[in-house]
Structure 1
Amino acid sequence: MHSMVIHEDSMVDGIPLSQFAPKQCASESLPTLFLYHGWDSAKDQYKELYLIRVFDPIRKIADLPHRPILLQHGTSDCIVPIDGQRKFYKELRKVYEGKSINLVEFQEIPRTNHYISLGMFEYAYKWIKGQLNG
């Protein structure tokens, strides 16, 4: 596995790398965005960041069908910063404004890193069951 430090002034698809907001875990010295991938070159890193940007769901939020959406995110997630999820939820609420607003739910799970807990799974199961029965 290769890890590489990228300069803060680097650009991806004309976007400053700082907008990708890599976050450091308390136990790691490098941004985790770059720690868990086995890149062979800086070119591979930029390609990965470009694909993340292209497939970011916030870019296609207006095209989402109005259906129930449950978002769950750990407040201590050091792989995917929670701020992106908060922004997505805020924009999603604008799209769902009106009679569909109750279809969107966002849970911030305290002290939870980048994993799904049993409690999150159980809540999601009950939530989906309620959506199907409701």
Structure 2
Amino acid sequence: MTDYLKSNFIVEEKIRIQEISAIIFKPREVKGPIPTVVFYHGWSSNKELQRLRGFILSSVGYQVVIPDAIYHGERNRLNDYGWNMAKQYFWDVIFRNLEEFNIIVREIVSKYNADSKRIAVMGNSMGGFTAGGIFTHNEYVKTLIVLNGSCGWENFNENIEEPIDKELVEKYDIIEKKVTDMNPMNHLNLLKNRPILLMHGDSDNVVPIGSQKYFYDKLNPLYEDKEKIKFIEYTDLNHFVTTNMMEESINWLGRYL
């Protein structure tokens, strides 16, 4: 099939950062260090399926890097992405993304002209969990945008908890401790007054809106400047990214990146 997602004004390149496969978009005529968005895909997705979003963000002046997560894309894909596999690997993927983020940033700053003082992180679904964790634990990241994800990790786990296979109990004990330790909800002091945009459908049946709303309701009172934190609920919207969400993202980046 012919690929029509091309432009004389946007450069798209597949890159590899150590073992991390990624796609990078940037405006062709860019000069000097460029503000850069690292965008994380969701469970069962991959970098190629996010190309349109990278293209849209790059078309308004940003460099966009979309990495494949482990077990996705070019990185040892799973045979299926059903619930049983998600129970085993979902948090493994998120924590590996967190570990790899600074590797990605060092590479794009040294080799791809990213402005080290103008880095944003953004993600959809599982990528939104990732983005929230990265932003919490990396103070230099300027802004966070989460689409249909959650920054209330423990609250999310509590609300989707199902019986665990006996052989996974020990692994889950380790994961639960790590979730508690890294959960953005448990580090609100690292987040207050930093620019955060959260967007979510109120009918999302994959990542229910409740855990994200819980996080927002706890964090919002800590902000002196309420313009820097925004939570948009989309009525009757399930687990989808809309044109309106992309427009809000562009406006937010224009203000805070």
TM bin, normalised by shorter chain, reads: 0.5 to 0.7
Unaligned runs of 5+ in 1: 5-16, 24-30, 35-39
Counterpart of 2:206 in 1: which secondary structure? coil
Counterpart of 1:81 in 2: which secondary structure? coil
**Which residue of 2 is the match for residue 21 of structure 1?**
159
d(CA) in 1 for partners of 2:194, 2:156: 33
**Which residue of 2 is the match for residue 116 of structure 1?**
241
Q: Deviation of residue 61 (structure 1)?
A: 0.6
How many residue pairs align between the two structures? Answer: 104
Inter-CA distance 50–74: structure 2 relative to 1 (3 Å threshold): farther
**Which residue of 2 is the match for residue 79 of structure 1?**
206
**Which residue of 2 is the match for residue 90 of structure 1?**
217
Inter-CA distance 65–90: structure 2 relative to 1 (3 Å threshold): closer
Question: 2:196·2:230 contact (CA, 8 Å) conserved in 1?
Answer: yes
**Which residue of 2 is the match for residue 130 of structure 1?**
255
- What CA deviation, in whole Å up to 9, does each residue of 1:24-48 have, x standing for no partner? xxxxxxx6xx8xxxxx734334444
**Which residue of 2 is the match for residue 3 of structure 1?**
84
- Matches for 1:59-70 after TM superposition, within 5 Å: 59-70=186-197
Partner amino acid for 1:62? N
Q: Deviation of residue 18 (structure 1)?
A: 9.6
Question: 1:22·1:81 contact (CA, 8 Å) conserved in 2?
Answer: no
Partner amino acid for 1:81? P
**Which residue of 2 is the match for residue 28 of structure 1?**
none
Partner amino acid for 2:193? H
Q: TM-score scaled to structure 2, two decimals? A: 0.34
Inter-CA distance 49–77: structure 2 relative to 1 (3 Å threshold): farther
Q: Deviation of residue 19 (structure 1)?
A: 6.7
Counterpart of 2:237 in 1: which secondary structure? coil
Question: 1:70·1:104 contact (CA, 8 Å) conserved in 2?
Answer: yes
Which has the larger share of strand? Answer: 2
Q: Percent identity?
A: 27
**Which residue of 2 is the match for residue 103 of structure 1?**
228
Q: Deviation of residue 106 (structure 1)?
A: 0.5
d(CA) in 1 for partners of 2:176, 2:206: 14
> What RMSD in Å do the two structures reach over aligned CA positions?
3.2
Inter-CA distance 115–53: structure 2 relative to 1 (3 Å threshold): farther
d(CA) in 1 for partners of 2:251, 2:231: 15
Q: Deviation of residue 122 (structure 1)?
A: 1.8
Unaligned runs of 5+ in 2: 1-79, 86-154
